[in-house]
């Protein structure tokens, strides 16, 4: 294993808050800004870990709740941890299960102690507390663990947002108290919905506890894109300058370019892989629906300026055929292409920041994508 967790800022854009950094973890480095493909159950759907490495990604996200249910954290621990279990030699970040407070609200009961989930697999009871979340993530062996938080939907009454901030703060302190100081990192999460005063309160409380990194949670949970961006623009400056800043679950190409301008270092979102499986493919800043009849006889690659494996070898007509025929290869090729687009965007962002030209990339994005 390599060095313990650390973060350094290598370059700053002179006309924005965008910064180019490097995170060091026990399993290697993450060049930031970085996007993390979502591997909820220990796999980025339809791809091998080698595919993900070849695309240029340094880190994958796994999920505590889902892996605890299947195959179970003790199985993974006995088999050498999640890195060995899924054959991923690079950095792993694990979500704490806090998002499932929102996504599985109809199957859970929330209290100040934690959340009682009824498994979506077999109805069995899973009690998730801050201590249990930390124990599961320790068994998985992730390099970056997330504090357990209460993620409310939007819109929500102010009383619900206040309760989430209070609960997230108490849970963060409980996570910090049991997290081992073993070279791995624990990130705290700021909640508060779309209420700026509550975001300030949450950020101050989480900063006071002290973490190796900080995340903005509770965005893209029912509000408009403009509202999400307004929340991030006001919250990002509240986070410590010297630690990585992670925006959870917000991730169109336009989002990524816009949010890096605010100093965000890490991103994750299911969008590129989910859209790929649904036949929505990114080309030059826009998306096309590959199932459309217009592509039936189209010999062109998806994107003539894209150098990915898919665009070098296959036509739009063939990709449409695979999707319409529901062939498994459709999911794989579409996912390879979409993630290549995201990896290329991250590289362009890092290069633009290093060259002091991030404003040019932002201007291009706003012209092309309406960011």
d(CA 369, CA 371): 5
- How far apart (Å, rounded) are the C-alpha atoms in residues 117 and 100? 9
Query: Angle 358-146-189 (CA atoms, 0-180°, nearest 5)?
Result: 65
54 is catalytic: no
Which of the residues 58, 95, 149, 150 is marked catalytic? Answer: 95
Report the DSSP pairing between strands 34-36 and 266-268: parallel
Long-range contacts (CB closer than 8 Å, 24 or more residues apart) made by 104-112: 104/65, 105/153, 110/150, 112/167, 112/170
**For residue 293, what is the DSSP state?**
G
266/264 Cα distance (integer angstroms) = 6
Q: Catalytic annotation on 226?
A: no
Q: Are strands 144-146 and 185-190 parallel, antiparallel or unpaired?
A: parallel
Which of these, 286, 260, 271, lies nearest to 339 by C-alpha position? Answer: 271
Closest of 225, 243, 221 to residue 233, by C-alpha? 225
Burial (CB count within 10 angstroms: exposed 0-12, middle 13-18, buried 19+), residue 81: middle
3-state secondary structure of 201: helix
Bridge-partner residues for 268, per DSSP?
36, 248
Say which of 13, 143, 261, 268 is annotated catalytic: 268
Q: Is 327 left (phi over 0), alpha (psi -120 to 50) or beta?
A: beta
As given in the structure block, the two tokens for residue 127 are: 């009690």
Q: Do 145 and 134 form a contact (C-beta atoms < 8 A)?
A: yes
Q: What is each CA distance from 227 to 51, 218, 221, in whole angstroms?
A: 35, 12, 11
Helices (H) and strands (E) in the chain, counts: 15, 16
Give SS3 for 240.
Answer: coil
Residues in contact with 324: Cβ distance below 8 Å, sequence separation at least 6, in sequence order: 291
Catalytic residues: 95, 268
């Amino acid at each position: 294993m390599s060095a313990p967790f650390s973060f350094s800022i290598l370059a700053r854009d002179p006309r924005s808050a965008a910064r180019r950094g490097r995170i060091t973890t026990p399993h290697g480095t993450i060049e930031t800004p970085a996007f993390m493909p979502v591997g909820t159950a220990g796999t980025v759907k339809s791809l091998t870990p080698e595919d993900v490495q070849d695309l240029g990604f340094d880190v994958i996200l796994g999920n505590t709740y889902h892996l605890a249910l299947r195959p179970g954290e003790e199985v993974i621990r006995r088999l050498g941890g999640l890195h060995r279990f899924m054959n991923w030699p690079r950095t792993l970040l694990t979500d704490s299960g806090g998002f499932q407070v929102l996504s599985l609200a109809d199957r859970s009961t929330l209290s100040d102690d934690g959340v009682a989930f009824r498994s979506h697999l077999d109805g069995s009871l899973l009690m998730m507390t801050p201590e249990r979340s930390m124990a599961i993530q320790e068994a998985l062996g992730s390099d970056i663990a997330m504090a357990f938080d209460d993620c409310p939907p939007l819109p929500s009454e102010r009383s619900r947002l206040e309760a989430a901030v209070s609960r997230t703060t108490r849970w963060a302190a409980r996570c910090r108290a049991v997290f081992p100081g073993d070279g791995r990192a624990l990130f705290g999460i700021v909640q508060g919905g779309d209420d700026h005063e509550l975001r300030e309160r949450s950020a101050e409380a989480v900063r006071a506890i002290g973490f190796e990194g900080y995340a903005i949670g509770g965005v893209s949970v029912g509000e408009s894109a403009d509202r999400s961006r307004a929340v991030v623009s006001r919250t990002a400056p509240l986070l410590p300058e010297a630690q990585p800043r992670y925006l959870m679950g917000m991730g169109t190409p336009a989002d990524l370019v816009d949010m890096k301008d605010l100093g965000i270092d890490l991103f994750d979102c299911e969008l590129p892989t989910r859209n790929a499986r649904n036949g929505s493919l990114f080309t030059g800043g826009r998306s096309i629906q590959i199932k459309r009849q217009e592509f039936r006889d189209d010999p062109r690659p998806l994107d003539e300026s894209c150098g990915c494996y898919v665009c070098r070898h296959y036509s739009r007509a063939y990709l449409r055929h695979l999707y319409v025929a529901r062939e498994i290869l459709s999911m794989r090729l579409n996912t390879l292409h979409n993630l290549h687009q995201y990896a290329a965007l991250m590289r362009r962002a890092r290069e633009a920041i290093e060259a002091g030209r991030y404003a040019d990339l932002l201007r291009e994005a706003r012209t092309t994508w309406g960011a």
